[in-house]
Amino acid sequence: MTTITLLDGGTGRELKRIGAPFRQPEWSALALLEAPDFVRRVHAAYVAAGADVITTNSYAVVPFHIGAERFTAQGAALAALSGRLAREVADAAPRVVAVAGSLPPICGSYRADWFDATTARPVLATLIAALRPYIDHWQAETLSAIAEAELVRELIGADGKPLWLSYTVEDGSAANGQPQLRSGQSVAEAVESALRLRAAAVLFNCSQPEAMGEAVSVARSTLDRHGGAAHAVRIGVYANAFPPQGEVAEANSTLHDIRADLTPAGYLAWAEDWIRRGATIVGGCCGIGPEHIAALRAVL
């Protein structure tokens, strides 16, 4: 029987749901600034739901969300706090729970055209240094372009912690059997890059469930073509609950509606399809909460 690793779900929406301080542009970082115990509660809820991995609440600890001046003054401390909170909850769990160090797209989610390595490098380096003592693996997520993944690998170096690369897929791009990243690069190219960058897993996140199945199939066939060590690279999915996002959309730039059809049972049906296609890591992104993860745990 295939072993499935269960990720947690979205953090920002869950913080808002339980009453944590939450507003634009700080998004999920506001709870770190004003009420970090809410972050601890979200992590604990996902552990209780059955998650094998909880993710540091560092996604919004970037100048894009908290401002350049605040990041310079507090960015390292906030990132370290996000790591420490996750580590404490994981270590107190009644079973083994891993901590993923979230490394976000520094220049803005969904916008490959905004990526600038010179701008991103010092910010990303700050996050990596602050998170490193607390995490079990790196999870570079919502990557719209391969160049973002290349910078992550450059900066984490060979620190002994596995790298999971998670790309966001253009909603609707899978209709013709050729799913693409939001940069327009193909999913096959992204998987090739994951191999080249020595990633332990290649995932797809923060896109609609409908976009994910074909991405998993392409990833599986690409890895199979390489054979050998490529077979050890795992495939994962954690979709969002948003309506389709257009080419100029920005993740977390506004509070998107949540689809009514993505109930825990509805989301489970999608996850079972991803697993049939070859995914061995599943979880949720924006709008997918502890109740969804509990439904996955009950079946998977």
Model pLDDT, residue 1: 59
Q: Specify whether domain 5-299 bears CATH 3.20.20.330.
A: yes
Model pLDDT, residue 228: 87
Q: Which regions of the chain are under pLDDT 70? A: 1, 174-175, 244-256
List pLDDT tens digits, range 17-69.
999 999 999 999 999 999 999 999 999 999 999 999 999 999 999 999 999 99
Q: Give me the residue spans of the domains in the chain.
A: 5-299
Model pLDDT, residue 27: 96
Global pTM exceeds 0.85 = yes
- Residue 74: burial class (beta carbons within 10 Å; 0-12, 13-18, 19+): middle
Model pLDDT, residue 248: 44
Model pLDDT, residue 118: 98
Model pLDDT, residue 95: 97
Model pLDDT, residue 194: 98
Model pLDDT, residue 251: 52
